[in-house]
Amino acid sequence: REILLHFGLTEHLGAIVGGDAVTCLKPAPDALLLALDQLQVEPRDALMVGDSGADVAAARAAGMPAILLRGGYTQIPVEELDADLVCDGLLDLPSAMRRLQDAA
């Protein structure tokens, strides 16, 4: 929350859920499901954007698709982590989201 406040991002977010808000951390889906509940959004209408295998596993457990960004917290190539799509960076995210939506 402090980092988000520092960069002025909190006003753009509908929910903020950190690891201290749940008992089980990723790859458990608890934090994702809590955020979705706060937003009143169904998992099928959401998307996990992450950078690790734990992010993909949490998304799968929550019933939502996952996009991974290169350069995150994994020693395994992101292409091997079973994400729905892989992006080189955040600027690629809008087109990746459109591709996922078109494929659905």
Q: Which domain holds residue 97?
A: 2-103
Confidence of residue 53 (pLDDT cuts 50, 70, 90): very high
Q: Which residues contact 38 (CB under 8 A, 6 or more apart)?
A: 14, 15, 17
What's 40-69 look like in SS3? CCCHHHCCEEECCHHHHHHHHHHCCCEEEE
CATH number at residue 91: 3.40.50.1000
Total count of domains within the chain: 1
pLDDT higher than 90, residue 1: no
Mean local confidence (pLDDT), 69-92? 92
Confidence of residue 63 (pLDDT cuts 50, 70, 90): very high
pLDDT of residue 73: 80
Residue type, 53: G
Mean local confidence (pLDDT), 2-27? 93
- Angle made by CA atoms 91, 100, 74, in degrees to the nearest 5: 60
Q: 23, 30 in Cβ contact below 8 A?
A: yes
Q: What percent of the chain has pLDDT over 90?
A: 86
Beta bridge partners of 48: 66
Q: Would the pTM count as exceeding 0.85?
A: yes
Name which of 61, 55, 104 is nearest 83 in CA terms.
55
